[in-house]
Amino acid sequence: MSIAIVWSSPNKNGLTASAKNQIKEGIEKTGTKVEEIHLNELKLEHCRACGNGWGVCKTKGECIIKDDFADTYKKLVDADGIVFVTAVYWHDLTEQMKAFLDRLRRCESGHNGYLADKKCFLTACAGGTGKGAIECLHNLEETLSHMNMTACDRIPVIRFNKEYTLPALKTAGGVFADAIKES
Ligand SMILES: Cc1cc2nc3c(=O)[nH]c(=O)nc-3n(C[C@H](O)[C@H](O)[C@H](O)COP(=O)(O)O)c2cc1C
């Protein structure tokens, strides 16, 4: 069994990375393999809205852009569960997370449906005022729901709550892995 952690922040030692590390530790404690995917390190272009807007992906289930998208997509299909961890920018997902999910949604909802019913765990990390973490989680869940993916939980990590949410994420990672094992 393996769980993919898709995360996005340019900071390898920031709040988002800390949240990701806690969840990863919790998952690994259950003996589950983790496939870590750091979107900021990958070559991922934006959707070009080809084919008059509907895209070749609607008929072929593949994106025409040759970059790291196809490999990353396959890793998510192969995973038993998926954790999304994003920094909060402008009350929303990072640009890298948005770009990746835009293309994933087109291939998935238009054609493939490989990720339907996949269990997910969502975390948004807002190190500023903390405002926008909830909107970010909402936007993420909306996008996932277009692919019929299921959110088991959504956790906002902000400056005010990080002392208690970061340790809790380790427990949450373990609970998430156990839930997937049982299902
Ligand atoms: C472009 C940009 C937009 C941001 N927007 C928000 C925001 O809407 N709300 C918030 O609380 N923090 C905001 N922040 C702060 C980040 O959420 C904060 O830096 C957070 O710690 C990001 O995770 P990191 O530590 O991994 O960089 C923003 C930061 C940047 C760079």
Please, what sign has the CA dihedral across residues 44, 2, 125, 109? positive
Please, what sign has the CA dihedral across residues 8, 18, 108, 80? positive
What would you report as the CA-atom Rg of the chain, rounded to the nearest whole angstrom? Answer: 16
**CB-based pocket (< 6 A), ligand 1:** 9, 11, 14-17, 87-91, 125-132
126: β partners: 158
Whichever domain contains 36, its CATH number is 3.40.50.360
pLDDT surpassing 90 at residue 93: yes
Q: For residue 7, what are the CA distances in angstroms to 41, 60, 68, 91, 157?
A: 10, 27, 15, 17, 14
C-alpha 76/C-alpha 62 separation (Å) is 14
Q: Could you give the number of structural domains in the chain?
A: 1
pLDDT per residue over 123-160, tens digit each? Answer: 999 999 999 999 999 999 999 999 999 999 999 999 99
pTM, entire model = 0.98
Q: Which residues span the domain enclosing 150?
A: 2-182
Tokens of 94: 């990072």
Q: Which atom of ligand 1 is nearest to the CA of 15?
A: 25
Residue 88 alpha carbon to ligand 1 centre in Å? 5
pLDDT per residue over 41-61, tens digit each? Answer: 999 999 999 999 999 999 999
